[in-house]
Amino acid sequence: MEFVKNHIIEILGKLGVSKVDLEIPPSLDMGDYAFACFPLAKELKKAPNSIAEEFSKKISSDDIIERIECKGAYLNFYINRDYFFNNFSLDINKSQKQKILVEYPSPNTNKSLHVGHVRNMLLGNSLSRILKAAGNQVIKTNLNNDRGIAICKAMVTYKLFGDGKTPTSEGMKPDKFAENFYVLFGEKLKEDPNLDNLAQDMLLKWEQGDKETIELWELFLGWVFKGYEETYKNYNFSTDITYSESKIYDKGKDIVLEALDKNIEGFDKEDDGAVFVDLENKKLGKKFLLRGDGTTLYMTQDIYLAKLKEEKFNPDKLVFIVGSEQKYHFDVLFELLHRLGFGGVEKNYHFAYGYVYNKDGKKFSSRTGNTFGADELLEMVTEKSVQVLKEKHPELNDDEIEKRSRIIGYGALVFGFLKVNPLTDINFDIDSALSFEGETGPYIQYAYARIKSIFRKVGIEKIEPKSFSNISDKEYNIAKKISLFSDIVNDASLNFRPSSIARYLIELVQMFGSFYNDHKIIGEEKDIFEKRMYLIGLVAETIKQGLNLLDIEVVEEM
């Protein structure tokens, strides 16, 4: 409704108001748009209330603005409802045209994916869809942290206690099998502190390219990735390009040395040759990039990776979906990239999300095996919806039950994670994740199914009513809410906020629920019937599109 806004701004402009901030009033009886006269008081040397009153008398209604009222110091504008409906569109404005790289979930490949990765993947999936919906080109990247001391710990334990077992011989999902040896390391370490040294030795051998060690490593990674493949599929995750730390961890030295050579701000070295950057003027301290022996550090490989991406994709924006505990790392990285000429905070964005704690606010620990696995979690929500469905529809066959429960269970899980602000720490409570009541995925899906049920009943697919006169406030409010969808998607894209889509859907469905409760549709006279069918059709379509942006499907019947 951009045009309506401009129209009002024009009207007020004619009265000599140069800066117009229009607001949307808290309730419909205060109109569709409002203008607060407080700021004019000083300039006009009059009380805000009398300014509003004066203005309301000077403005006359037209085709677009049905009437103007003043309430206190506010001027309230009421849109002509026929005009509104005739200029109504569901289409999402696709004016954002950036090329955006989104990096996630970048796991440490010594264990299976757990509840923290779930939050990461769901945020990434949804964000990618939202960015695309707003018109951007999205390229998904993933960085496997596939080397280092953690995976060596798992390998050491396997070598000592594995007895040549394999996932197949044990009948286990391979990433779980690998993870068990990582967990076992922690247990065995208590008995034998020397294991730490063995792990360090193995890391050294790995770096030296020792054949036996590399073979074991490849075997381990094979198991882990095989397991991930299934989890990724279940969580609808895919990537366009995968990077591996093992291939880049020792790269980036040249970039650092060149920067040192060029005397780029802050770059310096110690007596032993170690290179660091002084970021004290940005309150980021002193960061080392090369050790005295010339070997690289973690930050250095990230700089190298940024260069790789720049050369391959030339992106407008890079988004890193990584837990908020790594904020300092990214603050430093982006400042370094800025100094090195790859673009700083204006180009790079750390999409930080909060920690997932257990119900009592304590940390989950994969080291001790005390956590929810991603696979297990999905199984639980699916099982729950199977139970509910079987109870409600004993007549359905197993295939249909399974098909629906996957969608409904997944919807419950995804919506539960996405409805909250990403930065908020979550105390993960399996019971509320399994809940289907209130602000949940199934609640939204249920509204969709009810609408579809009405369409099935009347046997019509689409209706275009002739007029929109005499619709109720509840109906008009819903239509207005739907007209905001495009703006919501664009905001969610610009602010990287999937949660605002989820919140929007909750509000829309609440409005629909209230409408559904006290408006009859079937059996009403043709005129009203058509208008209402049209309206609920739009609601259903908006729900479908909105859920799709969260990577949740709808079902026609529940």
Partner RNA sequence: GCGCCUGUAGCUCAGUUAGGAUAGAGCAGCAGCCUCCUAAAUCCUUUUUGGAGUUAGCUGAAGGUCGGGGGUUCGAAUCCUCUCAGGCGCGCCA
Give dist(CA 80, CA 85) in Å, integer: 9
The position carrying tokens 């099998």 is 177
Q: C-alpha dihedral over 475, 476, 480, 483, to 10 degrees?
A: 70
Give dist(CA 553, CA 558) in Å, integer: 12
Crossing angle (nearest 10°) for helices 526-549 and 498-518:
160
Q: How far is the CB of 543 from RNA (least distance, A)?
A: 13
Q: How far is the CB of 129 from RNA (least distance, A)?
A: 19
Q: How far is the CB of 42 from RNA (least distance, A)?
A: 7
Across 253-273, b (16+ Cβ under 10 Å) vs e yields bebbbebbeeeeebbebeeee
Q: How far is CA 469 from each of CA 63, 78, 201, 466, 508, rounded to the nearest angstrom? A: 14, 14, 80, 9, 22
The position carrying tokens 């490849």 is 218
DSSP alpha helix (H) spans, 281-350: 298-313, 327-339
The tally of CA atoms less than 13 A away on the side-chain side of residue 429 is 7
Q: Which is nearer to RNA, 172 or 486 (CB)?
A: 486
Give dist(CA 300, CA 30) in Å, integer: 58
DSSP alpha helix (H) spans, 324-466: 327-339, 374-392, 398-418, 430-434, 441-458
Asked whether the beta carbons of 445 and 411 are under 8 A apart, the reply is yes
Q: How far is the CB of 68 from RNA (least distance, A)?
A: 12
Q: How far is the CB of 554 from RNA (least distance, A)?
A: 11
Q: How far is the CB of 139 from RNA (least distance, A)?
A: 24
For the beta carbon of residue 329, count every other beta carbon within 10 angstroms: 16
Give dist(CA 33, CA 24) in Å, integer: 5
Q: C-alpha dihedral over 361, 362, 366, 369, to 10 degrees?
A: -110
Q: Which is nearer to RNA, 62 or 280 (CB)?
A: 280
Q: How far is the CB of 169 from RNA (least distance, A)?
A: 30
Q: How far is the CB of 173 from RNA (least distance, A)?
A: 24
Q: Which is nearer to RNA, 340 or 528 (CB)?
A: 528
Give dist(CA 215, CA 220) in Å, integer: 9
For the beta carbon of residue 370, count every other beta carbon within 10 angstroms: 12
Q: How far is the CB of 89 from RNA (least distance, A)?
A: 21
